[in-house]
Structure 1
Amino acid sequence: MDLYNQLTKETFPSLLKNKKFILLLSSSLLSGFSVSIYLLFEQLYVLQQLRLNASLLGIAMIATTTPRVLFMAVGGVIADRFSRSVIMFLSLSFRCLLVFAMLLLLLNGQLQIWYLIAIAFCFGSLDAFFWPARDSLVPLLVNKNQITRANSFMQTVSQLSLLAGPIVGGVILTRLGFNGALTCILLILLLGSCLLYLIKAPAKQVTRSSTFLKDLHEGFVYVIQSPLLFSMTSLFVTVNFFFLGPLMIGIPIIASHVLKGTAFEFSVLQSALGAGMLLGALVTSYMNLRKKRGLITLCLLLLEGALLVLMSQLTIFFYLILVLVILGMCISTINIYSFSLIQENTEQSKLGRVISLSTTVSIGLIPIGYGAVSGALSLHIPIDQIQLVSGTILMAICMFMILKSKAIRSAN
């Protein structure tokens, strides 16, 4: 046993001393920053430089974000077939080429909306291959006992890029203009590519199916046949439908109609949610719990439903901020625990497909949830009633899962 512990310690050093994990963490941070700054560039360029209307901006944003949903499952199959670090390296490298092409078009005054939309689609498509490869690479670089903490670190850098990326991008655009912003994005992606090139991921044993579709089907069947994976995927499909729409659409409505506030109140509420997510990742990393994570996840989802109900009744700014901070902590912790449980309970040869399929199915219902909330609002149903009903349904679903889903309840 002492020999085993010594070998394990040598093979998987502490996370802060694990060079490969630090390289992966750093490249993820840089990738997140590049996406945040790119989205800000895209929005301001369409509205300020091209002076086009918001509908064309919407098309450009859809072209950037939709490919992640469309190609996430494909990215999972590719991650299981080839070296995951190489896939990430190629994703950032090809995005470097796209940004370089944008910079050339911009310098020559030819970066028009249809070029921008086409490049945005390619940019988003390459991003869809990055994340399944990253999330399935983490268990290859760290000890199984470190996976939860490793995911906490990953969640932390993701939140940092979401919070700080637009601020950094705003400063860059203000100081250096559109040319300077694209140059900075190019340099960030280039640095991220160089860091990924230094990762020599451990070899993995992969049994390749004869066709791409067979690989995809194999991953789907694997999720269906696993009580834990199937239960978690089904649960989060439901959660994303009943929770994210009422929450995210509700925040600006509450800020403007309930609080009678301005953009300041809206930005503070949004920041409170983001700050809570960052705080949740840090707390989860510090605690690094290993037991009853499935039950804890269900309890936190139950708390999310209760907080959504509470949010529907609040009209005081400070209390709303407090609720959103706690909600952000719940969201972050749930994401970390669910990813950790999936990573620890999935065969390495199928991990990319399982993660991508679970994510695709889960996030696929988010736009439908947004549409359902918008439809309810168009029928003059107040947002507080929508949140009250959605939160109550979410609580009922979680109570049912706590009582009936032994697979999740007993998952450690």
Structure 2
Amino acid sequence: MVMAFFLNFFFSGPLSIGLPVIVKDVFHGTAGSLATVEVSMGIGALIGGAILATVTLKKPGKAMIAGLIALGVFFMVAGFAGNLWHLAALVALMALVTQIVNIPLMTMLQQTTPKKMLGRMMSFLMTVSTGLVPVSYATTAFLLATGISMQTIIIISGVVVTLLAVYQLKNKRLVGFTFEGERRG
């Protein structure tokens, strides 16, 4: 839950506010340019979902952490994107790995939470996920208003997400997680 809190804070605002700002102010793009980047997000998410529907993850905990590390790296590199197509490709990759993180994470939370607490736990997760979005937006807007560039905000956020993900390598419960049907013993 703590990881979800920090990841949403450092990812949601900079991504949602950052993409339109970078497309308009850095690449001098149009609404069509922003649509290209946004469509790439949908395509990446669809590909990620299709991959998870066809591939059985042997070690979903490790896949989640690897996906988080990749997400942070792709996000950081997006701050250095040299053109619209480079940004669109990075956004597609971020959406793809987000599926590799989110789907096993939801499964893990549902499998490891006692049934009588499942509704409360999922409600709490959704509150943390959606409730923090406006705070992330406000913080990102404040940083922009102080003169910090959107690329700098995205690069720093990507570094923080990557470091948080790498830190999770110490979380033996997460690293060793397997789906219930695949447990032995």
Q: Is the 8 A contact 1:237 1:363 kept in 2?
A: no
In the other structure, the counterpart of 1:131 is none
In the other structure, the counterpart of 2:175 is 409
In the other structure, the counterpart of 2:147 is 380
CA shift for structure 1 position 292: 1.9
Q: Is the 8 A contact 2:79 2:155 kept in 1?
A: yes
CA shift for structure 1 position 333: 2.1
Q: Is the 8 A contact 2:67 2:97 kept in 1?
A: yes
Identify which of 67, 72, 81 aligns with 1:314: 81
In the other structure, the counterpart of 1:47 is none
In the other structure, the counterpart of 1:257 is 25
In the other structure, the counterpart of 1:392 is 159
CA shift for structure 1 position 240: 0.3
- Count of aligned positions: 178
Q: Which amino acid aligns with 2:175?
A: R
Q: Where in structure 2 are the equivalents of 1:1-20 lying within 5 Å?
A: none
Q: Is the 8 A contact 2:63 2:100 kept in 1?
A: no
Structure with the bigger RCO (C-alpha within 8 Å, sep 6+) is 2
In the other structure, the counterpart of 1:238 is 6
Normalising by structure 2, we get a TM-score of 0.91
Q: State the alpha-carbon separation in 2 of the partners of residues 360 and 407 from structure 1.
A: 23
Normalising by structure 1, we get a TM-score of 0.42
Contiguous gaps of at least 5 residues in structure 2: 179-185
Please state whether the residue corresponding to 1:313 is helix, strand or coil.
coil
In the other structure, the counterpart of 2:183 is none
Q: State the alpha-carbon separation in 1 of the partners of residues 85 and 36 from structure 2.
A: 10
CA shift for structure 1 position 342: 1.0
Q: Is the 8 A contact 1:309 1:387 kept in 2?
A: yes
In the other structure, the counterpart of 1:287 is 55
Identify which of 121, 125, 132 aligns with 1:358: 125
Structure 1 vs Structure 2 CA RMSD: 1.2
In the other structure, the counterpart of 1:329 is 96
Q: Is the 8 A contact 2:41 2:92 kept in 1?
A: yes
Please state whether the residue corresponding to 2:79 is helix, strand or coil.
helix
Task: Look at both structures and tell me which one has the larger radius of gyration over its CA atoms.
Answer: 1
CA shift for structure 1 position 302: 0.9
Q: State the alpha-carbon separation in 1 of the partners of residues 112 and 43 from structure 2.
A: 30
CA shift for structure 1 position 347: 2.2
Q: State the alpha-carbon separation in 1 of the partners of residues 20 and 144 from structure 2.
A: 13
Deviations 1:308-337 (A, max 9, x none): 111000121221111111111111221111
Identity of aligned residues (%): 27
Deviations 1:233-272 (A, max 9, x none): 1111110001121111111011111111110000110111
- 1:370 maps to 2:137: yes
Please state whether the residue corresponding to 2:71 is helix, strand or coil.
helix
Q: State the alpha-carbon separation in 1 of the partners of residues 155 and 114 from structure 2.
A: 40
In the other structure, the counterpart of 1:226 is none
